Structure 1
Amino acid sequence: MAAQIFSAILVIIVGVGGCVLYFWGANKLVDLIFPSRGVTGAAAVDNLRRQGLIRPWLFIGPALVILVIYLIYPVISTLWYSVYDKTGENFVGLRNYGWALSDEQFHNSIVNNLMWLLVVPAACTFLGLIIAVLTDKIWWGTIAKSLIFLPLAISFVGASVIWKFIYEYRGEGQVQIGILNSIVTWFGGDPQVWISMPFWNNFFLMIILIWIQTGFAMVILSSALRGIPEETIEAAVIDGANPFQIFWKIMIPQIWGTIAVVWTTITILVLKVFDIVLTMTNGQWNSQVLANLMFDWMFRGLDNGRGATIAIIIMLAVLPIMIWNIRQANKEGKL
């Protein structure tokens, strides 16, 4: 444990120190090559102009390099592998895509992903909006927001481990340590293996992501609600509108763009959901999703072609939503 903490601290020091050293050294190098001090006339003006052209690239250059290495190259490589066999050596064309369209497990993953898409973004956005409105009206609202936001700081795997204890099942005659089964047995019911119940186990897994992401939706929507002009609320109150009418007819229309951005952001996350399913069920009991299926074929089935094909399908599903989300965010920024 001590060695891991030391390694983490060392990485932070080296990473932050390296960034500081890079930017300081790069700027000093630019000043040495194109000096603006001690030079007069047209030469000084030209050097300042060159410095102005070069300096932005000193900041965005490393990000662009990392983007090419860790995003653009992997996309091209994945697309390449998707038209090859499991060894990545023999070209098979679109055969892997044909397999995906006819594979029963792939179909099951699509259905499960669709259920996640219908439930999780809607639940997170709705709960986040309701909590944002209610916590603005109570004196301890900041404390409540902090507690609701807290799960977002936990990794998906860590959250899954927490919820494993909630859903934990022990055999008949044993003391139930899972919170849910303890409540059930206290009321006289029979304990259940919740995460192995086909169809319903998907919803038990969704609850984990809703628990994590509601805080994100709450913070963004709370900020949007505070941007609503007080004059419109006061005018509605004077006209005799009740709190329910103010909420639906005054507040919601004015923050609709933010609601859409929050919804689509969580939708993108849901399309890539992987950690929760892997930790809780590993895709068993009809709980498989696309990202976990990709992981299975890539690292357990040892079929690079099929794993890459599923990755490309996930990317194609995410891309239109991401483009729309970016456009909406840009529109919001211009207002």
Structure 2
Amino acid sequence: MSPVLLGIFTIVLGVAGCVGYFWASNLILDKVIFPAKGPNAGRNINRANMVRPWLFLFPALFVLTLYLGYPVIETLRLSLMERVPGGSEFVGLANYSQMLDEPKFWEALRNNMLWLLVVPAASTAFGLLAAQLTDRIAWGSIAKSLIFMPMAISFVGAAVIWKLVYDARPIETEQIGIINAIIVAAGGEPKTILTIPFWNNFFLMIVLIWIQTGFAMVILSAALRGIPEETVEAAIVDGAGPFQIFFKIKVPQIMGTIVVVWTTITIVVLKVFDIVFAMTNGQWETQVLANYMYDKLFRANDWGVGSAAAMVIMLLVTPILVWNVYNARKEMK
């Protein structure tokens, strides 16, 4: 079957299945389990109305449990097991101990912490700057579209683009990488930028900052537009300058949105894999946790240590997710 027909068939089957499920479940609930007749009709109707929301939630809960809950539990189990001839055996925290003894793990953790310090701060700052400036120019919508455009590119696609930007050729050949073309034009020698330890991490970060700035700009632009004009006008009347208005009037009022953007990008950074994999494959001291996990799972075939690395990533992401949910619920009250 062609992909188009398969997609149409899947959509039709999915929609029909959902409609059939809701129709049949409500019919069974109202006619079989809690029939609205007899002396207990009123009580049955109330019971049915209490159960009915769970009927609608069940498909989503089932899918979440199947595709999110079960993998977490299975990954935790695998992280406590070791493959042996004929099956596997329980080894407790031995995989975690082995992981902590490996220099590559600490390199990955150190690089992830470096990414956490730079990428969320830079993306949020550039996004806020872009949101403020594009709202003050006539062609702001076009500028926003251009800045947001990298969000439409996959991480691998963006990595390929920037790998060409950083490309280095022998000095006697024409440079196709923009940076080395400028260096050679200025009389220097081309440099293999991605092989320079420590600094190459920052060149990789630029790719994610380039992508996430558009996301930050869109969210923060909406927040800036929601600031009451009265507060800005009052500040102008009081003699406040543009910088004072921005930093002392606008930024404090959208601080909640800034934190949400910051933490959302932080979660993306903790799971970063595609960019590193496509540009350096973790070589030249650019290893990150997700790439380390991939190497252990699919290259070393060591799913015990690989699962342990996955649990470390999940433990790092969970507090930020909880914080985001807490803030969202607090703002809704």
TM-score past 0.5 threshold: yes
Query: What corresponds to 1:14 in structure 2?
Result: 9
Write out aligned runs for 1:1-335 (5 A).
6-7=2-3, 9-30=4-25, 32-33=27-28, 34=30, 52-53=49-50, 55-87=52-84, 89-334=88-333
CA distance in 2, matches of 1:96, 1:170: 42
Structure 1, residues 66-116: CA drift from partner, whole Å, max 9, x if none? 111111111111111112224571222112212222221111111111110
Q: Please give the alpha-carbon distance, in whole angstroms, between the structure 1 residues aligned to 2:150 and 2:215.
A: 9
CA gap 1:50/1:11 in 2 versus in 1, 3 angstroms: farther
Does the CA-based 8 Å contact 1:27-1:55 persist in structure 2? no
TM superposition shift of 1:32: 4.2
- Given residue 80 of structure 2, which amino acid in structure 1 is its aligned partner? V
Q: Distance in 2 between matches of 1:45 and 1:111?
A: 63
Aligned length: 326
Structure 1 counterpart of 2:213, one-letter code = T
- What's the offset of the Cα at 1:53? 4.3
Structure 2 unmatched ranges of 5 or more: none
Quick check: 57-66 or 198-207, which moved more?
57-66
Letter in 2 for 1:200: W
Alpha-carbon distance in 2 for matches of 1:106, 1:227 = 44
Instruction: Answer with 143-152 or 165-174: which moved more.
Output: 165-174
Q: Which amino acid aligns with 1:72?
A: G
Please give the per-residue CA displacement for 1:236-290, whole angstroms capped at 9, x wherever unaligned.
Answer: 0000000000000001111111111111111111111111111111100000001
> Structure 2 counterpart of 1:13, which letter?
I
Contact kept in structure 2, 1:169 and 1:177, CA below 8 Å: yes
Deviation (angstroms), 1:24: 2.1
Checking the alignment, whether the CA contact within 8 Å between 2:22 and 2:56 is kept in structure 1 is: no
Q: Structure 2-normalised TM-score?
A: 0.91
Segments of structure 1 that go 5 or more residues without pairing to the other structure are none
8 Å CA contact 2:75, 2:311 repeated in 1: yes
Contact 1:224/1:258, CA 8 A, preserved across alignment? yes
Q: Distance in 2 between matches of 1:112 and 1:85?
A: 28
**CA 1:66 to 1:195, structure 2 compared with 1: closer, same or farther past 3 Å?**
same
2:127–2:217 contact (8 Å) kept in structure 1: yes
- Aligned residues of 1:23 and 1:59 also touching (Cα < 8 A): no
Deviation of residue 162 (structure 1)? 1.2
Identity among equivalent pairs (%): 57
* 1:44 Cα deviation after fit: 7.9
Return the offset for 1:180: 1.8
Task: Return closer, same or farther for 1:23/1:92 CA change in 2, 3 Å cut-off.
Answer: closer
Residues 45, 152 of structure 1: CA spacing in aligned structure 2 closer, same or farther, 3 A cutoff? farther
TM-score normalised to the size of structure 1? 0.91
**Partner Cα distance (2:260, 2:176) in 1:** 40
- Root mean square deviation of aligned Cα: 2.1
Do the aligned residues in 2 keep the contact of 1:132 with 1:222 (CA within 8 Å)? yes
Provide the secondary structure at the position in 1 that maps to 2:81: coil
Deviation at 1:10, TM superposition (A): 3.5
Q: Could you say what secondary structure the match of 1:85 adopts? A: strand
